[in-house]
Structure 1
């Protein structure tokens, strides 16, 4: 696969006068364009992370949302609108809808806490950052 993986620096989303900063763990880039958004999750957080990742990947214009949880891998093709078994390296145009911005902001806050900022995130422990 000729995809370069880079750490996602994230984006700011403006909703109802408030700004939300969201990101995946990594982006898969092909020929200078984002092909996929990659994130990780604990088995207990799969569904919220899938919801976030589907919306976030559309916002970034990525064809695929890829989620890794232990040995499990989930791939969603935004272009086809369904789960798939493999990533095809063909970059296609994907557009986000207004609801994707709301979902990405809401679910990012749900699945990430401050103690997960420095790692892959998706921590639901509720501990203060000094722990």
Structure 2
């Protein structure tokens, strides 16, 4: 098991989010999770889809969404897609905090630039991994 896989395991993310919540006096009301699902598309991600639906329909009892890091929205090929989901939260008056990031998601120019870069890097990671898997499959044939 790779250290990256360990870092991104659902259990480790949940533990980190719980610690973050405890340190800041938050109570976790609901967890939305997509364990083992591809982050390339929202299709097939019941947790993310439900979160967005709950927010858009006003079915929330919370004012903050805690996300492990920027890449956890997804590794979308279009970096604007994850920004869009964060914007849906913001538009509904729900803040988003990233528990494992080294910056505050405060709307500052710096946080906006860092998030944009991290979103692009998440999509690029997915593209590179896909190419490596494809190349590996062709070598084994």
Q: Normalization by structure 2: what TM-score?
A: 0.29
More strand by share: 1
Highest Rg: 1 or 2?
2
More helix by share: 2
